[in-house]
Amino acid sequence: MSRIDARFASLKADGRAAFVTFVTAGDPDYDTSLEILRGLPGAGVDVIEIGMPFTDPMADGPSIQLAGQRALAAGQTMEKTLAMVRAFRQSDDETPIILMGYYNPIYSMGVHPFLAATKEAGADGLIVVDLPPEEDDELCIPANAAGLHFIRLATPTTDEKRLPAVLANTSGFVYYVSITGITGAAAAHADAVAPDVARIKAATDLPVCVGFGIKTPENAAAIAGIADGVVVGSAIVDRIGRGDSPTEVLGFVKSLAQGAHSV
């Protein structure tokens, strides 16, 4: 059983939703980013998404765009991102790690070298937002063969005709994007999200996690009541961007975790 499968099984047995966080690797610099990364499990994080910085993100709003720019300006590379995963694994062999981003940096490195290095570093899965199911042979299927989960996004516009294609080679969990738009653009509302979450859950046995637009402990608690997991990214990245210390960032993360786990 993979770390992702084991973590969701454990949370289900405890009757809790997963609390999933996103941070950009190398933001604002390598050492600070690694300190925050290492502190996330202790702050209550169940699954960690690590953003692979890229110059031209398409799905991300200003907060995560700026995080990527800060990281790249500080010298972050794919090799350093994988080094962060290795460093994290020196003290934590249980918390699932997912690399999230865009295909261009992976393509530049080479699919098979990237997959081998990602698996060796200790990551558990990928979210690559600009590769649709029609391109599964490009990365998704090789990733699965390498022992990495490939987590797909479903959105409010993923209708009944499209959903089977989205689910076909997805594993680990399904990431439901709660809003139509970029990250951090609007607040997610549980009442509006619940019908789509239920529709997706009826079509798959995979956990369904909801992200985009979750910014407060109260938001997290509301979404945890209707989904298997809650994903927070921009609200955390904003704290890093304004210069909060790792202790302050992790304190905020802990408050969000308490909200997500309170249901």
The catalytically annotated residue of 14, 27, 29, 49 is: 49
Q: What is the identity of the amino acid at 181?
A: G
CA 125 to CA 22: how far, in whole Å? 14
Q: Angle between the 217-224 and 246-261 helix axes, to the nearest 10 degrees? A: 30
Assess contact for 50 and 101: CB atoms under 8 A. Answer: no
Structure tokens at 89: 């694994």
DSSP type of residue 151: P
Active-site annotation holds for 60? yes
Decide: 57 and 179 in contact? Cβ < 8 Å. no
Q: Give the DSSP letter of residue 250.
A: H
Q: Specify whether the CB–CB gap between 165 and 136 falls below 8 A.
A: no
| Among the listed residues 4, 6, 100, the one whose alpha carbon sits nearest the alpha carbon of residue 47 | 4
Residues 159 and 180: beta-carbon distance below 8 Å: no
Whose structure tokens read 């408050």? 255
46 as an active site residue: the answer is no
- Choosing from 27, 46, 60, 228, the catalytic residue is 60
Q: In which element (H, E) is residue 195 found?
A: helix 190-201
Token pair of 28 as six digits: 């604002």
Q: Which residues are catalytic?
A: 49, 60
